[in-house]
Structure 1
Amino acid sequence: MSQQPVLLPYADPAFVADPFPLYRQLREDGPVRRAVIAGGLDAWLVTRYEDGLAALSDPRLSSDVRDASDPRLIEQLPAFERESMMSNMLRSDPPDHTRLRRLVSKAFTARRVAGLRPRVQEITDRLLDAVVPAGRAELVADFALPLPVTVISELLGVPMDDRYDFQRWTDAMLVRGERMADPVVVDEAWRQMHAYVTKHLEAKRARPGDDLMSALISAHDEEQRLNHDELIAMTFLLLVAGYVTTVNLIGGGIAALLAHPDQLALLRDRPQLLPDAVEEFLRYDGPVSPGIARFAREDVEIGGVTIPRGAMVLVASAIADRDPTRFRDPDRLDITRRDNSHLAFGHGIHYCLGAPLARLEGQIAIGTVLRRLPDLALAVPPAELSWRPGGLRGPVRLPVTFSPPGEATD
């Protein structure tokens, strides 16, 4: 296998819209492939399912970017993130990761999340009530974005009036692509988000409630299980991670159905398939692409390839989840697929804490759209859809038409 790095062509609209032909070629090239990813960074892509599954549980692969040997990985982080926002679960390993995750895990158990179902349905219906009479909508801005933002804001006790500000800052902080974003703009977004989180932590400290943010403050003030930077970083992580990927799951899932009319019709006829359908959306074209970053603490052999200490290892879940040695007919969207242990939520100790909530929101959102928006269709040719260029994957906009009440066709 050649170790000449392959460039992931984020400047190519065709690749951004459909990266899977190149992903397939990379997987066929071998189990580990050197690549140049977003921002010009070097990474070793783990492209096959079994290797990816093992890598996500390998303690020799760290989640802490400070274990990386390439100084650009730290240097390209916004200055304010380097200074104040490194102490979160995504970038920590045991024992700190174990302690931090334990503090919030009770809020995301399957039982707790199931109790949110009536409220998620209520928010979903309210958002659709606003667009149904028009017979057209932009389903990202009108629906897929505000739904998870509202849910996580209520869970944390954050005022909904501020959601547009933190969405704007998040967009600036998470931009990815062929070139890095303007560091001044990104750093300012981090500073504004930090100030925002700090302000609301102070407000919650003065008037605690029955919400997750109040519980985190108690863990800091009374139980001393969180230091100040960890409190800020945890709140930020829950606020941002609590909605960003779910937006892409909802938007991407609806886009996938519109591109596969047979699956759309099947799901309308058999709504009991919704749980399986959401798992298939996650496998087929999930919200993280190409995958999950780790950093080698020592030389590590994966798939017969030695990855040097300090290298970035990208467990390419988007590539591995179409591995034909694990999934039958992997390039076909099949909402009846049952054996579907995909890697979209990761694996091991860093398995996505919010997976039960994302699944619930995805099932309710997509199921309700199919029930309430008859004759759903794209309002533009499929080639005109724009997609997020790297790291996070999903449609930027999803303009659709449908039949208003009283005008639905058979």
Structure 2
Amino acid sequence: MNHTEQTAIGQDILGVLGGKNVETAFQIFAKSRKVGSVVRLPFPMENSDNQAWAVTHLDEAMKVLKDQEHFCVDPKSIDKSSNIKQSLIGKNSDSSNSSLFLSNSLNAIDEPDHRRLRTLVSKAFTPRYMESLRPRVQRLADELLDKVQEKGKMDLVKDYANPLPINVISDMIGVPKSDHLKIHEWSEGIANGLGLGTSNPETAENLKDFGNYIKELVFHKRKNPSEDLISQLILIEEEGNRLDEIELISMIQLLIFAGHETTSTLISTGTLILLDNPDQLELLKGDYSLVPSAVEELLRFNGPSTTAGPRYALKDIELGGEQIKKGDMIFPLLKSANRDEKHFTISEELDITRKIKRHLAFGQGVHMCLGAPLARVEGDIAFTTLLKRMPNLQLSIPREDVNWKFKLAAQGLTSLPISF
């Protein structure tokens, strides 16, 4: 493949990351995997000597995600004056509103601060605790379906996939029930407005309002602590474990945002994928014990995130036959790696009985999604409850009328009208 063709592939990948080419993303990824495991991107870097790269194969993506000696998540680990992160969301974005959310969150800092913060919050995010939430998640799932059962139809996104995880994480964090809708609207606004090279005033306003709300909530919890996660984090901070105010607020923002966006996309996109594969749907309805396996396959087949947050080379290294220089930016393409033909037989087809050793839908390494166990519990309950109560599930609009929307590092559905 000549330089012009490689540049075209790189441009197509950038288009996917920027919210274009949504319908053809997997075709682009399949083509890029044939080009190589590491593909140069025509993305303007802060330092003209550096390059941007996309990693398309699973082995190389795993290397980038797990190798802390060669790769970091914060370019300031390389150069304290770096402004690369700001360039990712556009030069016109308001850094005073977005920096707290983007730069101080758990998934955007390196060791040793990352280990300290993750240790604090992981005390609450244990698999055992996630399993203990099953009765609460089940109750919420049933309550949501009770509201639409007699109607015989619903918008799966608005009536089920969105409210289920936002209610779970909001309860867990300590957000009053009356504010759940508000939290969801802010989170949606942020997810829909932030992307590679994109930002707008409305997004900045959402970030600002979201941050101010969390500040007020933390202030209230300091005076009125309870059993929720915010109160636990405040208690840890007061015991002298160095969780300062900015870290605390940033942590809560991330937990709320990431704690429902991932699962919401899994439920809505996963349902559409099952409807697109009626043989697999019938197989699942015939044996609900396959649901956990189906959830893993849906995550592999079309997981919530297109790419992990960009990594930066801490030193020169060869990766996938390409020479990566210190300061280069690398995008591990999770959706491409999860269809790597070297690791998954007939990788472009859905198989809910597939025995999956690992996939990258939740990332890997120290920055692996903290809420992965919760997402699995919610996905298990959401699909089992939906299919048991509404076995005659079908799309109530023409397939070509299903609309996708671009979200931060992902594609999601604007709505999914179904009948049952």
TM-score when scaled to structure 2?
A: 0.89
Q: How many residues align?
A: 401
Aligned counterpart for 1:6 among listed residues 6, 11, 15: 11
Confirm whether residue 181 of structure 1 aligns to residue 199 of structure 2. yes
In the alignment, is the contact (CA less than 8 A) between 1:43 and 1:313 conserved in 2? Answer: yes
Tell me the amino acid that sits aligned with residue 417 of structure 2. P
Aligned counterpart for 2:231 among listed residues 195, 198, 214: 214
Shift of 1:36: 5.1
Q: Distance in 2 between matches of 1:176 and 1:195?
A: 19
Q: Distance in 1 between matches of 2:417 and 2:128?
A: 35
The structure-2 alpha-carbon separation of the partners of 1:190 and 1:12, relative to structure 1 and needing over 3 Å to count, comes to closer
- Counterpart in the other structure of 1:394: 412
Q: Distance in 2 between matches of 1:345 and 1:55?
A: 14
Aligned counterpart for 1:43 among listed residues 46, 52, 57: 52
- Counterpart in the other structure of 1:407: none
Shift of 1:165: 2.0
Shift of 1:352: 1.2
Confirm whether residue 58 of structure 1 aligns to residue 64 of structure 2. no
Tell me the amino acid that sits aligned with residue 100 of structure 2. S
Aligned counterpart for 1:192 among listed residues 199, 209, 234: 209
TM-score when scaled to structure 1?
A: 0.92
- Counterpart in the other structure of 1:323: 340
- Counterpart in the other structure of 2:30: 24
The structure-2 alpha-carbon separation of the partners of 1:14 and 1:255, relative to structure 1 and needing over 3 Å to count, comes to farther
Q: Distance in 2 between matches of 1:13 and 1:169?
A: 20
**Which secondary structure state, in structure 2, belongs to the residue aligned with residue 137 of structure 1?**
strand
Superposed CA RMSD: 2.5
Shift of 1:376: 0.6
**Which secondary structure state, in structure 2, belongs to the residue aligned with residue 339 of structure 1?**
coil
Shift of 1:209: 0.5
In the alignment, is the contact (CA less than 8 A) between 2:37 and 2:55 conserved in 1? Answer: yes
- Counterpart in the other structure of 1:408: none
- Runs of 5+ consecutive residues of structure 2 not aligned to the other structure: 45-50
- Counterpart in the other structure of 2:255: 238
**Which secondary structure state, in structure 1, belongs to the residue aligned with residue 154 of structure 2?**
strand
Shift of 1:278: 0.2
Q: Deviations over 1:8-34 (max 9, x none)?
A: 335999931341111100111111112
Q: Distance in 2 between matches of 1:127 and 1:43?
A: 44
Shift of 1:204: 0.8
In the alignment, is the contact (CA less than 8 A) between 1:106 and 1:112 conserved in 2? Answer: no
Confirm whether residue 256 of structure 1 aligns to residue 273 of structure 2. yes
The structure-2 alpha-carbon separation of the partners of 1:245 and 1:68, relative to structure 1 and needing over 3 Å to count, comes to farther
Shift of 1:37: 7.4
Q: Deviations over 1:237-263 (max 9, x none)?
A: 111111111100111111110000000
Confirm whether residue 33 of structure 1 aligns to residue 39 of structure 2. yes
Aligned counterpart for 2:329 among listed residues 312, 327, 334: 312
Deviates further, 333-342 or 59-68: 59-68
Which aligned pairs between 1:148-187 and structure 2 lie closer than 5 A?
148-174=165-191, 175-176=193-194, 180-182=198-200, 184-187=201-204
Confirm whether residue 296 of structure 1 aligns to residue 313 of structure 2. yes
The structure-2 alpha-carbon separation of the partners of 1:82 and 1:381, relative to structure 1 and needing over 3 Å to count, comes to closer
The structure-2 alpha-carbon separation of the partners of 1:88 and 1:71, relative to structure 1 and needing over 3 Å to count, comes to closer
- Runs of 5+ consecutive residues of structure 1 not aligned to the other structure: 403-410
Q: Distance in 2 between matches of 1:303 and 1:271?
A: 40
Deviates further, 134-143 or 389-398: 389-398
In the alignment, is the contact (CA less than 8 A) between 1:286 and 1:393 conserved in 2? Answer: no
In the alignment, is the contact (CA less than 8 A) between 2:97 and 2:207 conserved in 1? Answer: yes
Q: Distance in 2 between matches of 1:229 and 1:13?
A: 30
Shift of 1:185: 1.8
The structure-2 alpha-carbon separation of the partners of 1:68 and 1:315, relative to structure 1 and needing over 3 Å to count, comes to farther
In the alignment, is the contact (CA less than 8 A) between 1:169 and 1:190 conserved in 2? Answer: yes
Aligned counterpart for 2:371 among listed residues 336, 340, 354: 354
Deviates further, 159-168 or 72-81: 72-81
After TM superposition, the runs of 4+ consecutive aligned structure 1 residues lying more than 4 A away are 10-14, 67-70, 176-179
**Which secondary structure state, in structure 1, belongs to the residue aligned with residue 376 of structure 2?**
helix
In the alignment, is the contact (CA less than 8 A) between 2:214 and 2:249 conserved in 1? Answer: yes
Q: Distance in 1 between matches of 2:336 and 2:43?
A: 14
In the alignment, is the contact (CA less than 8 A) between 2:165 and 2:378 conserved in 1? Answer: yes
Fraction of identical pairs, as percent: 38
In the alignment, is the contact (CA less than 8 A) between 1:62 and 1:296 conserved in 2? Answer: yes
Shift of 1:146: 0.5
Q: Distance in 2 between matches of 1:290 and 1:84?
A: 21
The structure-2 alpha-carbon separation of the partners of 1:181 and 1:57, relative to structure 1 and needing over 3 Å to count, comes to same
Tell me the amino acid that sits aligned with residue 129 of structure 1. D
Shift of 1:145: 0.5
In the alignment, is the contact (CA less than 8 A) between 2:396 and 2:417 conserved in 1? Answer: yes
Shift of 1:217: 0.8
In the alignment, is the contact (CA less than 8 A) between 1:67 and 1:310 conserved in 2? Answer: no
Deviates further, 307-316 or 146-155: 307-316
Aligned counterpart for 1:145 among listed residues 156, 162, 175: 162
Tell me the amino acid that sits aligned with residue 141 of structure 1. K
**Which secondary structure state, in structure 2, belongs to the residue aligned with residue 99 of structure 1?**
helix
Q: Distance in 2 between matches of 1:79 and 1:197?
A: 18
